[in-house]
Amino acid sequence: MTDEDYMRLALEEAQASSLRGEVPVGAVLVNPVTQEIVAKSGNAPISESDPTAHAEILALRKAAQLSGNYRLSGLTLYVTLEPCTMCAGAISQARLGRVVYGAVDMKGGAVESGVRFFEQPTCHHRPETQAGILGEESADLLKAFFKSRRKKDRPT
């Protein structure tokens, strides 16, 4: 499978999150050697009443529980939106090998936007990063979600 194939799976997770009323962000964690999907998830802070229940965090938790180890060295994370500072910190702690994301998040992102977490001298582990894989599709999904929310919030 290709980066685009895995990102399509992440987009499916994002769509499922959207249907649950969550911000549509999806993540898929892959072992690049075996091409096995280790874990996948979509955003769930509302449904789980947990501010840390971002798609990336949930996928990392599942993978760590399955492996019995918090270090997920060498795995690749596909996520539809640029990770925030919290998620970037977790990615670094997990020692992922690579992070591939779709849409850039100028407001909340922390990889190429905002704090640029992996470029900080205090960052212990810096994964390889790649942006823009199905970025337009990822951004369109987010835009449609927020547009529909604004319509619901308008008084009649």
Distance CA 100, CA 32 (A): 12
φ, ψ of residue 109 to 5 degrees: the values are -70, 155
In the structure encoding, which two tokens stand for residue 90, read together?
A: 């977790």
Q: Is 73 left (phi over 0), alpha (psi -120 to 50) or beta?
A: beta
Beta bridge partners of residue 101, listed in sequence order:
79, 131
Whether 56 is catalytic is yes
Among 56, 82, 112, 128, the one annotated catalytic = 56
φ, ψ of residue 75 to 5 degrees: the values are -70, 155
Which of the residues are catalytic?
56
